[in-house]
Amino acid sequence: MHILLAEEYDIGLNCNDHSIRESADSEYVSFWEGEARKLEWFSPWSRALEWNLPFARWFKDGMINASYNALDVHQKSKSAKPAILWEGEDGSSRRITYGQLLEMVGQFAGVLASLGVKKGDRVAIYLPMVPELPVAMLACARIGAVHTVIFSGFSAASVRSRIVDSGSRVLVTADGGYRRGKIIPLKEIADEAVSHLDVTCVVLERTNQKIHMNPRDRLWSELVASPLDAVPLESSHPLFILYTSGTTGTPKGVLHGTGGYLTHVHSTFRWAFDIRDSDVYFCTADIGWITGHSYVVYAPLLCGATQVMYEGAPDYPDASRICQILQKYGITIFYTTPTAIRMLAKSGSPDTFDLSSLRLLGTVGEPINPSVWRWYYEHVGKKRCPIVDTWWQTETGGMMISALPGIETIPLKPGSATHYIPGIDIAIVDEEGRSVPPHTRGHLVVKRPWPGMLLTLWGDDSRYKEAYWSRYPGCYYSGDYAMCDDDKYVWLLGRADDVLKVAGHRIGTAEIEGSLVSHPQVAESAVCAIPDNLKGQAIAAFVVLKEGADCRRDLAETVRRDVGSIAVPKIICVVPRLPKTRSGKILRRILKAIACGEEIGDTSTLEDPGAVSDVSVAFARCQVD
Ligand code: WT7
């Protein structure tokens, strides 16, 4: 791998506070206690960490409330400061101050309570990117209800399975949402999702299109209630469930707690983004994913920051939309994905806008190629802004590896996420769990608990243990490959498991395969990733059809309906048979090699080596189609 001279990018901002790393490494629990004290607690904890491997409870009996820390604490000094500068896809805008946000949240908490929602109850939220989405989340947090936000691009079947699994009795949705100038009929999808379930729907009027109201439905605008105060909750009280893809067909309900999670996102946000009162922060993530939970909703509000929230597609009406927003609001800190950066690069738009307000850039969600990094540095940051490449996961709650301009100056290397966050102990190990030497690929593991770590998987402690804690005893298994260089910089090398990252969205191959084989004419299927210039990865699906079937054209629709449009394969290739071992296991490695035009490698374990040429021929034909 080509690595630029580090000195070229030595552009840290602030003080060099090395004492943070030293104290964090020697006494990590008391280090995190110090960080936790930067939030407001109703009463202190008696023990900082209860660690019953693999279950960690941080600041367990301390009493805290997320919405109180996001809103109430700012009222004295910042009630008139904008919390959210919202930009609609149609160019409309809304400006919501900390004072107004508190009012909205307090009231909606009252509404939820009037619908019977109590502490510990789950509330599903299926909303587009509008301010009412954070309002609904914070209202849940205010009364100790557990929110589960469902990305507004998911299908009715995905929404339904999440509602059923979480046991949500209230669903907050909207009449529709704007996406690329069209309206996504969220209410219609929600109706299908909750049919025959005992669920009350609160419907926000966003598009004001005509919708069908059922007896279970209540219009947001017609619900009034007195505002509620934040209730003190135990630090380990669950804050939210967020479903994410794993290696099986059933998404995992990642469960996060309160005090530890808030501590983690609060500290990492300040360290990575060096946030100041005058900043205007913009993160392009949808709140339906973890980046939106941690670094659109919770961390910026905990820090009393002003941020821009954008409703629509980043390339609507054209690819310059993001640059227009950066210029219009004078954004100072910009946090986005490699896919969005590649899109900007393709459009060339940064060169025609005034981006001089920017001072810090971030990237997240997938490995960033060094050439894309350099383009981001030169054309968006104009060689003035450090780039923080932040590695983390839905499960980790907050950043785990990143440069931290807020506390230290280090040379950056394009394509490396640099070093571990203070207080976090990560290793890169081989199959047997031994640390690998520099420049050797290994599995990324975390060796001790950290405050933002998931509590468990909702309703499934055994899957939690199995998925994360069984492969390397005592260590959290991330599912990512990584390596270190001689300067101890970490380079992330992609997933080691059957999880894909398409435009930064996490999708399990098993979910797509499950959908494909649910089609009555499909006998078998196997899915793998292929490189994509824009989205990083794209999906290739190989299917074996039943005798006489001809349904290739229906299959994209099947996946769209079962999972959602983000999971629709770019290539669907009908093959006469799949390469299998003698015991019947599909060799995806071979499919991937064929789809990526790579060396096929060892085929000695194949039951029938002829399958390789069958698939190759079919794939070549499929590309011509
Ligand atoms: C997976 C987690 C992190 C919040 C958004 C995604 C990949 C994430 C990076 C990065 C290389 C990255 C990993 C990880 N990933 N950030 N900076 N460099 N890869 O959260 O949907 O849970 O996905 O995203 O493969 O395991 P997620």
Instruction: Measure 495 CA to ligand 1 centroid, in angstroms.
Output: 9
Dihedral of alpha carbons 446, 451, 452, 457, sign: positive
Residue 160's CB: how many other CB atoms inside 10 A?
Answer: 22
Instruction: Measure 366 CA to ligand 1 centroid, in angstroms.
Output: 5
Average pLDDT over residues 364-387: 95
* H/E stretch holding 24: helix 18-26
Instruction: Measure 33 CA to ligand 1 centroid, in angstroms.
Output: 27
Average pLDDT over residues 268-296: 97
Q: Ligand 1 atom closest to Cα of 506?
A: 21
The region, left, alpha or beta by phi > 0 then psi within -120 to 50, assigned to residue 120 is left
Instruction: Measure 504 CA to ligand 1 centroid, in angstroms.
Output: 7
Q: What confidence score (pLDDT) does residue 9 get? A: 56
Q: What confidence score (pLDDT) does residue 247 get? A: 87
Average pLDDT over residues 392-398: 98
Asked whether 114 and 233 are in contact (CB, 8 A), the reply is no
Around ligand 1, the residues with Cβ closer than 6 Å are 244, 289-291, 364-367, 389-394, 417, 478-480, 492, 495, 501, 506
Amino acid at site 593: A
* H/E stretch holding 95: strand 93-97
Instruction: Measure 111 CA to ligand 1 centroid, in angstroms.
Output: 36
Q: Ligand 1 atom closest to Cα of 401?
A: 17
Residue bearing the CA closest to ligand 1, atom 2: 393
Q: What confidence score (pLDDT) does residue 6 get? A: 45
Q: What confidence score (pLDDT) does residue 308 get? A: 98
Q: What confidence score (pLDDT) does residue 470 get? A: 97
Residues 501 and 499: their CA atoms lie apart, in Å, by 7
Q: Which of 264, 372, 404, 480 to mutate to test the pocket of ligand 1 (most atoms within 8 A of CB)?
A: 480
Residues 315 and 317: their CA atoms lie apart, in Å, by 6
Q: What angle do CA 405, 407, 408 make, to 5 degrees?
A: 70
Instruction: Measure 392 CA to ligand 1 centroid, in angstroms.
Output: 5
Average pLDDT over residues 236-259: 96
Instruction: Measure 106 CA to ligand 1 centroid, in angstroms.
Output: 33
Helices 588-596 and 610-624, axial angle in degrees (round to 10): 40
Average pLDDT over residues 337-342: 96
Q: What confidence score (pLDDT) does residue 23 get? A: 83
Highest mean pLDDT among 20-29, 103-112, 403-412: 103-112
pLDDT in tens, 5-22: 444 555 444 455 667 888
pLDDT in tens, 148-158: 999 999 999 99
Q: Ligand 1 atom closest to Cα of 494?
A: 25
Q: How far is CA 381 from CA 4, 385, 592, in A?
A: 18, 5, 36
Instruction: Measure 480 CA to ligand 1 centroid, in angstroms.
Output: 9
Annotate 203-224 with three-state secondary structure: EECCCCCCCCCCCCEEEHHHCC
Residues forming a β-bridge with 87: 93, 310
Residues 334 and 296: their CA atoms lie apart, in Å, by 12
The region, left, alpha or beta by phi > 0 then psi within -120 to 50, assigned to residue 184 is beta
Q: What confidence score (pLDDT) does residue 549 get? A: 87
Residues 181 and 318: their CA atoms lie apart, in Å, by 11
Terminal C-alpha separation, the chain: 36
Asked whether 173 and 187 are in contact (CB, 8 A), the reply is yes
Q: Which of 265, 291, 392 to mutate to test the pocket of ligand 1 (most atoms within 8 A of CB)?
A: 392
Q: Which of 244, 501, 502 to mutate to test the pocket of ligand 1 (most atoms within 8 A of CB)?
A: 501
